[in-house]
Chains A and B, each alone.
Chain A
């Protein structure tokens, strides 16, 4: 005789069998005393288990249960659903440890890239010729010149050839942005049209406040043969070579 399986008995206990499966089990139970006894035992165990697993603390316990939950939420300082839901846009980035990790990773990459860029610029092999010229200019430039340059006047930054918006004093910095059209450095920005020979005569020199720049300085720049190009890069500036600025190149 094939008796009912424990799974069939368990499902029968829960009235979970349907259709043909239920009919077969009922037919078997009707004719099998052993399976009926097994089912009865299961029913008794279930009946005993229910009270063993039930602890009723009484109504008084539940009267202030919600208030205790509320206290616990407030004690934990939780923002709750609305706090999370209202957190949108950039604020959402701080919403979870994973988001925070992503933000940190991206920030690290950005900072590392920036440092690499700056470091790469600093360690770029120095132009020995520029250094030599700079040293000589420093030796030859009279103190008065440096004072004049420091005074500057209201014109464009002295020696800031082409750097209409460049940092004052010519300290080490990023390459100058293209000068905006129509500004005082327009002509310089157009740079390629202005040769070294032209610079002495007019528009280029005037455009970069040449009156404040000692002749000797420009001479050195011109002697480089690439003075204009250097100026456009912000490296050929007489002011930067003057040594009067803390960030001046040697």
Chain B
């Protein structure tokens, strides 16, 4: 999905408002259409924050279930994506916290995610990229949840500072400073893993 399309998520359109209104009135087709509209974005956020297909699937589905439950309180006309992204982020970190309490639960490797959903991947290419990707993923996993969330929204979803501020309910200035700290922390942790001097 292009960045331009992704940025459209941040502004509530009239069409979206009509869908939300219809869904609130009990039209199941309208809610299904909202799910179809945002399923990829929500899944991307969930995957970035859980880094395995099983958890991402669970978080993405649960995000829409929670949204359905709370749809009656959603204000028509507001952009829906920041709300969904916030739900997905919170669910991901709830999972993260429960995993931290149960450290015996292993994180599935990246390749397992591809195999589970039948994604074709070239084994030789996998060997080349897996090492650096694994370092980066592990360094990312060591970041604070708030840093993981902001990097996901910026790097994966390519959201603007304003949209991130709306999603995370923080001022735009906080987005700028938090992003900076998150990147610096990631660089530091990655260097520690690969033996580089920072």
Q: Which residues of A contact B (CB under 8 A)?
A: 5-7, 9-11, 13-14, 16, 41-42, 45-46, 48-58, 60-62, 65-66, 68-70, 72-73, 76, 78, 80-86
Contact = CB atoms under 8 A, between A and B. Distances in A.
A62 B39 contact: yes
B136 A48 contact: yes
Nearest to A50: B155
Nearest to B179: A10
A61 B114 CA distance: 11
Interface in B32-91: 32, 35-36, 39-40, 43-44, 47-48, 51-53, 56-57, 60-62, 64-65, 68-74
* Most chain B beta-carbon neighbours within 10 Å: one of A42, A52, A60, A65: A52
B21 to A, nearest CB: 10
Contacts, number: 145
Interface of A is mostly: helix
Interface size of B as a range:
35 or more
Contacts of B23: 81
Contacts of A10: 176, 179-180, 183-184
B65 A57 contact: no
Contact of A6 (B25, B52, B137, B180): B180
A105 to B, nearest CB: 24
Contact of A54 (B47, B70, B74, B140): B47
B26 interface: yes
Given A50-B155, A85-B72, A78 B65 contact: yes
Contacts of B136: 48-49, 52
Given A57-B117, A70-B28, A84 B72 contact: yes
Contacts of B61: 65, 68-69, 72
Contacts of B176: 7, 10-11, 16
B154 interface: yes
A49 B71 CA distance: 34
Contacts of B119: 56-58
B168 interface: no
Contacts of A45: 183, 186-187, 190
B116 to A, nearest CB: 8
B43 A52 contact: no
B95 interface: no
A6 B184 contact: yes
Given A45-B190, A57-B43, A62-B39, A52 B69 contact: no
A81 B140 contact: no
B110 to A, nearest CB: 7
B17 interface: no
A85 B21 CA distance: 11
B177 interface: yes
A54 B71 contact: no
7 contacts: A11-B179, A52-B140, A55-B53, A66-B36, A68-B61, A69-B65, A70-B28
